[in-house]
A and B are shown apart, each in its own frame.
Chain A
């Protein structure tokens, strides 16, 4: 199934003019733990989705919000003539389609489509 089926929050946003930050948040603690523990939601996978090296990504697993956060440097500063996304808020789309494997008993009712 796709990550967007199990993570109700997948977003990107500026963290200041020079960084982009991505949040992925889950509604189920079991799904959150399973995907982080099995490495299906990981810094390495994130880096490869954006053509970066793992060392380019600051990665935090944030248990209280059942979420993970990735922060990277912007290609250009926000609002630079070469920048196409001043708020940095449309950079998350590649994450939505991540194929993830979640045990059947943890899948949301509408899952498995």
Chain B
């Protein structure tokens, strides 16, 4: 049996890729083109708001090339985690882009969308039947926690893609998806080895990140067979090496050896990475251990309020020397003023980070002494309404600007504000809410498919 050739144009739809690399990829006669559209990396905001992770214009540019290439060769194009977070709003936004491109280019094809939103009623029902389990570190789920979620998506495996292809889809815009499943779906359908198919998927999901020099914004090809797979970048300026491919196996996973997927676990413990030539690597020994039960990882967000932020910079060594105490005094002053302003109370969260001290690492920061000549304060208030967040942030900003400093006299103004107005309303704030898997009755029951002819 011949290998199944998979082309990954770029790390995320909209990140861009050189047209020349993509043409070189098409010249290798891929059986499928796949591209990841996002992840949870960017935090809970996009899933909560339905906003795109990458701009619509950038997605349009990438999708136009991918669709044109896929139609020229007559091979399917699979897009997973559409729009950055893969909720219904994201799928619809990307579907509209595809429809617009088809009209503009006068292309006719079968478009499938796959939803990934999970209803609360489904979760309540699976909870009652004992078919939801916590992942590492998560507590057991209860009905209140389900009800508190504002949006829930399931991370699909290969099966919804395969179902679309069996129904004749040429282009698939899928909601939240395992990154690897996008690339494993077609090789598995063609009967290639499960270990090589999933492992190749893991290497392909970030474009040419597994090549040197590393580029998430360039194209990678994989040839997936029964007992192994080979990978090479499309850009002749790049190459894959055994170490670069092994290194990408480690990337963003909890473990490099055991990578969990809905239908089982990719086991790379006995892999061998061998250079075929200066640019191409062969990987053998990957195996796939089917799971006793098929599981879908849940991702969810909960709205906790609205945020306003303010950035100010302090250059005065006297304040830098007592910054921690100064911040404590801001907190106290804000608490007093909130109590005076909202007699019924207001459930707010004030965070003040010191750039120049521990803004990046917080409690994990091992360096205790500040040695810089300036520090930046990032003040952030999350409150039940945007108006309250604005109001309470203004209280914090006032005290931060004019608060007393040991050894300084007169009316003090202690912060350089780089912007006017200084306060920036930042909109709704979501947090990640679930860390659980659900055991569905079938791999596709959570992922509704809609086909349309363009």
Contact = CB atoms under 8 A, between A and B. Distances in A.
Interface of A: 9, 13-19, 21, 23, 25, 27, 49-51, 58, 60, 62, 64-67, 69, 71, 73, 75, 77-87, 90-91, 93-94
A78 B43 contact: yes
Interface string B314-332: 0000000000000000000
Given A64-B271, A66-B243, A81 B255 contact: no
A8 to B, nearest CB: 10
A71 B40 contact: no
Contacts of B366: 49-51, 94
A82 B364 contact: no
B247 A81 contact: no
Interface string B254-292: 111100000000001001110000000000000000000
Contacts of B431: 77, 79-81
7 contacts: A14-B41, A15-B254, A65-B246, A71-B255, A77-B431, A77-B432, A81-B351
B249 A64 contact: yes
Given A60-B257, A64-B271, A80-B431, 10 more contacts: A14-B40, A18-B135, A21-B253, A62-B250, A64-B272, A65-B250, A67-B256, A79-B430, A81-B429, A87-B43
B360 interface: yes
Contact of A15 (B242, B247, B252, B363): B252
Contacts of B228: none
Interface string B84-125: 000000000000000000000000000000000000000000
Contacts of A87: 41-43
B24 interface: no
Most chain B C-beta atoms within 10 Å of own C-beta, residue among A16, A19, A83: A16
Contacts of B361: 84-85, 90-91, 93
A15 B41 contact: no
B211 interface: no
B255 A58 contact: yes
Interface string B338-371: 0000000000010101000011111110100000
Contact of A69 (B256, B304, B359): B256
A66 B253 CA distance: 16
Given A51-B364, A51-B366, A84-B359, A79 B43 contact: yes
A19 B138 CA distance: 11
B178 to A, nearest CB: 12
A112 B313 CA distance: 38
Nearest to A52: B364
Contact of A60 (B135, B256, B304, B432): B256
Nearest to A79: B43
Contacts of A16: 40, 254, 435
B434 to A, nearest CB: 10
Given A49-B366, A60-B256, A65-B256, A81 B304 contact: yes
Contacts of B243: 25, 27, 64-66
Contact of B42 (A9, A25, A86): A86
